[in-house]
Amino acid sequence: MAKRMYAVAGLLAPLLAVAACGSSQADKPVDQIVSEARTAANEASSVRVTGDLAQGPTKGKVDLLLTNNGDGREDLTLAGQTISVVKVGDAVYAKGIPGQPGGGFQQLPADNPVAGQLVQDLNKKTLFDELLNPQQRFTKAGTGQIDDQDVVKLKPQQGQAMYYISDDSDNPYPLRVETSGQQGGLTLTLADWDAGATVEPPRTGGP
């Protein structure tokens, strides 16, 4: 179980690799839509990412808070077990790691290899550079709505995925990503863009 939990820490990037106040994005060239979405995502101060994932028969949920200064928080639930990770500056805190003594958050040593694995998903720029990879080619797949927000749908030419980009030239953020493949699938919802969220160190020790 421990090996499986460690293996899925940082699995968002591989899965992604498979895969109304402004003017409209829908009439722009697709490369421009992707470029502007990537720029908006990277410049936003923070974003919350929630989703459902599957890796083979294992189902799970993910909840992330990502910020531009590198701080972040993640709750990853798989097979009924939850790992929680908080990164503030160079400090990494975790709880729920199989074999970890105690039930509360513990600060991990900076040279702990597990810490490096656990914080992979908390790098906001890396995540969105992977999500909106400039080497990936997209085609338009129509328009739609997500929670009453107009979106442009983009389909990568490789892999089975659909990207939903806000149809708002002032705030062209990605709002949802859906991927599927033989090894699993992922649905991410991206919200609370540029909210200026901050991440505080958790209390360590205790249950």
Considering 4-8, 12-16, 119-123, the range whose residues carry the highest mean pLDDT is 119-123
**pTM flag (> 0.75):** yes
Look at residue 77 and tell me if it is in a domain.
Answer: yes
What are the two backbone dihedrals, phi and then psi, of residue 152, each rounded to the nearest 5 degrees? -105, 130
Q: What is the mean pLDDT of the chain?
A: 86
Tens of pLDDT, residue by residue over 84-111, are 999 999 999 999 887 777 778 999 887 7
Q: Are 104 and 92 in contact (CB under 8 A)?
A: no
Closest CA to 62 of 93, 84, 31: 84
- The number of folded domains in the chain is 1
- Residue 174: is its pLDDT beyond 80? yes
**pLDDT, average across residues 109-131:** 85
Q: Is residue 178 part of a domain?
A: yes
- What are 141-168's pLDDT values in tens digits? 999 999 999 999 999 988 889 999 999 9
| 132 pLDDT more than 80 | yes
Domain membership of residue 201 (yes or no) is no
Find the CATH number of the domain harbouring 11.
Answer: 2.50.20.20
- The secondary element (H helix, E strand) that includes residue 151 is strand 149-156
Q: What is the mean pLDDT of residues 29-53?
A: 95
Structural domain contains residue 94: yes
The answer to whether the beta carbons of residues 146 and 163 sit under 8 Å apart is: no
Position 50 pLDDT exceeds 80: yes
Those residues with Cβ within 8 angstroms of residue 12's Cβ, 6 or more apart along the chain or in another chain:
53, 62, 121, 127, 186, 188
Q: Is residue 6 assigned to a domain?
A: yes
Q: For residue 46, is it within any domain?
A: yes
Domain that holds residue 59: 2-19+24-191
Residue 196 covered by a domain: no
Judge whether 200 lies within some domain: no
Distance of CA 104 to the CA centre of its chain: 24
